[in-house]
Structure 1
Amino acid sequence: MVTSSVSVAVLDMQEISKQPEKMVKALERWGCFRLINHGIPINLMSEMKATVLSLFDLPLEVKQRNSYPGTLMGYIPIYVSSPVTESMGVFDMAKPEAVDEFCDQLDVSPQQRESMLKYSETVSAIADELGRKMMENFGLAGENLFKGWSSHLRLNRYCNNAQTVGSTVGQRHSDESFLTILLDDERVGGIEILDEQTEEWFPVSPMPGALLINTGDIAKAWSNGRFCNVKHRVQSREPKVRVSIAYFILGPRDTKVESPSKLVDSEHPQLYVPFDFKEYSKLYFSSSQCANGGALEFFHCAN
């Protein structure tokens, strides 16, 4: 069931810096919020969207150069179960050399390379700041939550048409990651989030100049169940091309995903055993049920 558009919390980056509990409250209830005054210039956001559109217009043989052997991080073409969607990826975008590798793969222009490097630097800084404020809220100030974690940038194009309007073009899922920073299309909506308390779907309307922040499975495990791993999907609303740029903070490389001891007490017993992110990621992509938060059940302390 889909109801009228939900007004997710709109938070100012400066407000979060002073009152991180507002961010935490939004993530506990909905698992997402809109972020304004985030520091990414409007012209850079526009440049990134223009770059994405131009990259998807490249010949197929060029787009297929975007690949990371043994992973699903590279180019994914339109296929039967996703008839309007194609995507590209930049693994470990927080590293300038990873952006350069992606740009080399697709022979992007110097201006496009510069835009991607600037965006990478800025969005990575936003992620780090949000992570620091989460730690501060839980009494863990001074620690860099995402230090040494892997990241992934996903570029998506939805070629909506008259035949797809009203259908789902991005299947229901929760993100495998801890944090997602989404630059969505202010011209064409499509995102819907699930209210797990009522089992109702709510459209999330575009908001020009804002980012959409959401938490995924790793955040739910790390926070000992406090953060919502919001379920979401993408609907074809109108016959227009839609683009989105999603930056994922995935998980730790060399340590296990584990709740800090301060988040475990008699009122909040430990919910999940420590687990390896790479192991989790393989399980997540093994089935649609696992991609709906089901993979976490394999690591529940009750199992």
Structure 2
Amino acid sequence: MATASGIPVIDMQDFAGLPEKLVRACEEWGCFRLINHGVSEKLMSETKVVTRSFLDLPLEIKMRNPSPVEGKGYIPLNYATPVFEGMGIFESASPGAVDDFCNQLGASPHQREILFKYSQALYDLAQDLGAKLLEGMGLHGDLFNGWSCQLRLNKYHNTPQSVGQTGAVMHSDPGFFTILQDDEIIGGLEAVSRKTGELVPVDPMPGTLMVNIGDIAKVWSNGRFCNVKHRVQCYEAKIRTSIALFVLGPRDTKVETRHELVDSEHPNLYIPFDFEEYRTLRITTRAPTGGALELFRATNF
């Protein structure tokens, strides 16, 4: 099954060939929609309400969500992102991370409960996807053991003046993959087709979750997976909300290609590197679409 644009739609409860379907989507598109993914629509809806309530708080409260490293905490409206703001929970799967975030914002017990349940549900789904990707590639192990994750809550202040403009610039995600609950009503997400190089709209599908494959997955798969380039456009003058879990990279070990995917016909394309070093290089080299990976090409050494 696929959307009108051709982006795959994968049913997580259709078990026949599911791991292989996921791998194929990672290779051919680098993104796909999930249906029957196990996260209830009620929880998704409640989390969107909580997200809107947090991002409607006064600026001085939102600024309590610190950002010691770019992109990890609160990002206010500014010249570079005139319609976008967001806040984040770094290491969202770690004990106490959601509580610490809620303490920063003075969240109610209900808001705290919803956010905790949602964060846990997405983390469990990420683990399931990781296991199925391993299975689909004939591999074994625990893919994301000891990896960092981040939950981000986003709001696009689309106005009549911003219609037709870019809300989030073209980029690939730096980590392994992102599980995105995009706005079920207001579109704007666009992805680059690996086959044609053209931008295609990613239309909303209520109750679904979008998965975007990132730079680290390209390295891990020895170039087989597509780190999909995407952006967000302002289609109409309405507030747009999204919620994303970023499965980033290993905390205490290097990012490296899975050794089983290297042989005489498929030589290793990348040298091992530190994930946080890579994130910094993406910023300092102004390479938001994965170009900084070329600095770690094995042919350069």
For Structure 1 versus Structure 2, the TM-score category normalised by the shorter chain is over 0.9
What residue in structure 1 maps to residue 29 of structure 2? 30
Q: Given that residues 28 and 194 in structure 2 are in contact (C-alpha distance below 8 angstroms), is that contact kept between their aligned partners in structure 1?
A: no
What's 1:101 paired with?
Answer: 100
Match of 1:295 in 2: 292
Gaps of 5+ in 1: none
Shift of 1:267: 2.1
CA offset digits 1:49-104 (Å, max 9, x no partner): 11111111111100000014344311010001211110100001112410000000
Query: How much does 1:269 deviate?
Result: 1.1
C-alpha distance in 1 between matches for 2:290 and 2:59: 33
Root-mean-square deviation (CA), in Å? 1.4
Match runs of 1:257-276 below 5 Å? 257-276=255-274
Q: Which runs of 5+ in 2 are unaligned?
A: none
Deviations 1:240-299 (A, max 9, x none): 0000001000000111111122101122111101111111111112243x2111110000
Would the alpha carbon gap of residues 188 and 70 (structure 1) be closer, same or farther in structure 2, given more than 3 Å must change?
A: closer
Question: Shift in Å at residue 15 of structure 1?
Answer: 2.9
2:215 is matched with: 217
Which residue does the alignment assign to 2:240?
Answer: 242
CA contact (8 A) 2:176 2:216 kept: yes
Pairwise CA distance, 1:157: 0.3
Partner of 1:186: 184
**In structure 1, C-alpha distance between the alignment counterparts of 2:15 and 2:99, rounded to whole Å:** 32
Structure 2 residue identity aligned to 1:123: L
Which is worse superposed, 192-201 or 212-221? Answer: 192-201
Query: Aligned partner of 1:173: which letter?
Result: H
Residue-by-residue CA offset, 1:199-252 (whole Å, 9 max, x unaligned): 210000000000001110000000000000000000000000000001000000
Quick one: which amino acid aligns to residue 169 of structure 1? Answer: G
Quick check: 67-76 or 244-253, which moved more?
67-76
- Corresponding residue for 1:7? 6
Q: State the partner residue of 1:48.
A: 47
Off by >6 Å, runs of 4+ in structure 1: none
Q: 1:5 deviation in Å? A: 5.5
Amino acid paired to 2:163: V
Check whether the contact 2:148–2:248 (CA below 8 A) recurs between aligned residues. Answer: yes
The residue aligned with 2:202 is 204
SS class of match (1:76): coil
Identity across the alignment (%): 55
- Aligned-partner SS, 1:292: coil
Residues of 2 paired with 1:291 and 1:168: CA distance?
15
1:12-50 deviation per Cα after TM superposition (whole angstroms, max 9, x unaligned): 112358530101001101101000111111111001111
Distance 2:195 2:136 in 1: 25
SS in 2 for 1:229: coil
Query: Separation in 2 of the partners of 1:78 and 1:5?
Result: 33
Structure 1 Cα separation of the partners of residues 297 and 192 of structure 2: 22
TM-score (norm 2): 0.96
Q: Is the 8 A contact 2:147 2:249 kept in 1?
A: yes
Structure 1 pair 194/70, CA: closer, same or farther in 2 (3 Å)? closer
Asked whether the equivalents of residues 190 and 204 of structure 1 are also in contact (C-alpha less than 8 Å), the reply is yes
Q: Which amino acid in the other structure matches residue 181 of structure 2?
A: L
> What residue is the counterpart of 2:115 in the other structure?
116
1:253 alignment partner in structure 2:
251
> How many residue pairs were aligned?
298
Matches within 5 A, 1:120-159: 120-141=119-140, 143-159=141-157
Deviations 1:102-154 (A, max 9, x none): 0000001111100011001110000001111111122222x110000000111
1:147 aligned counterpart, secondary structure: coil
